[in-house]
Amino acid sequence: MIADVKVTELFPTPIWSVELKPDAARELNVQLKAEIRRLTEPRPPIPAGASWQTDPVIHRMPAFAPLVSLIDRAAMGAMSFLAVRHRSASITGMWANINPPGGRNSGHTHPNNFLSGVYYVETPSGEGKIEFADPRPQAEVMMPPVSEGNRFNGNTITKDVQSGQLILFPAWLRHSVPVNRSNAERVSIAFNLMLNDYIDQSSPPLWRGTVPIDPKELK
């Protein structure tokens, strides 16, 4: 009868996770929180359920250089994993996100870039989450009821994250951040990376944040 059964996983989507040592994370996050607070206060009014974002240029500010260095190292590791031949890449945009109670980030991608990611500065207990959507358009054509969810029969994956953790993923992968249901703020820093061989005028973000950055602060 049956001699063997095999399952082949085709076209996997990698998501990389980098966790700092606790002491290093605490030291870095204290510095980052102080700088983000300086940039965002006094804060502009925003509608209920929305979030604060700085202009996507903070990678050019000296205070964020330690995080930029960490991101560069993580990106090199990811591109080595992918066996990319030319691994020189640059951050094309980086910005701070503040989700107050009730704040969220709806589903989106990051066009015109190769990799995107998030570093978590402060995550309230139980509220450190990022959700990734199945990028295959055919996956929703038929979704029969299942007895148990797994990575083969679901169309979203929610990843738990914590302060001091960096998540890196393909920029085309649709993702969102659930509603912050705590009474504390959720603080993160998002970024995009593009291979230097491809960088042109289209890679930097075309949008502005709710918290503008003074150009004099940029290097």
User: What whole-number distance in Å separates Cα of residue 100 and Cα of residue 83?
Assistant: 39
What pLDDT does residue 38 have?
Answer: 94
What pLDDT does residue 187 have?
Answer: 96
pLDDT digits (tens, 9 = 90+) for 128-151: 999 999 998 888 888 889 999 888
Q: Which two tokens stand for residue 101?
A: 């109670």
DSSP one-letter string for 90-121: EEEEEEEEEE-TT--EEEE--TT-SEEEEEEE
**What domains are there in the chain, each with its CATH number?**
16-43+51-137+152-198 (2.60.120.620)
What pLDDT does residue 202 have?
Answer: 63
Which parts of the chain have pLDDT scores under 70?
200-202
What is the DSSP secondary structure assignment for residue 132, as one 8-state letter? E
What is the DSSP secondary structure assignment for residue 84, as one 8-state letter? -
pTM equals: 0.90
Q: Which two tokens stand for residue 5?
A: 């059964």
Report whether 105 contacts 154 (CB < 8 A). no
What pLDDT does residue 199 have?
Answer: 78
Q: Which residues are within 8 A (CB) of 4 and not within 5 positions of it... i.e. 6 or more apart?
A: none
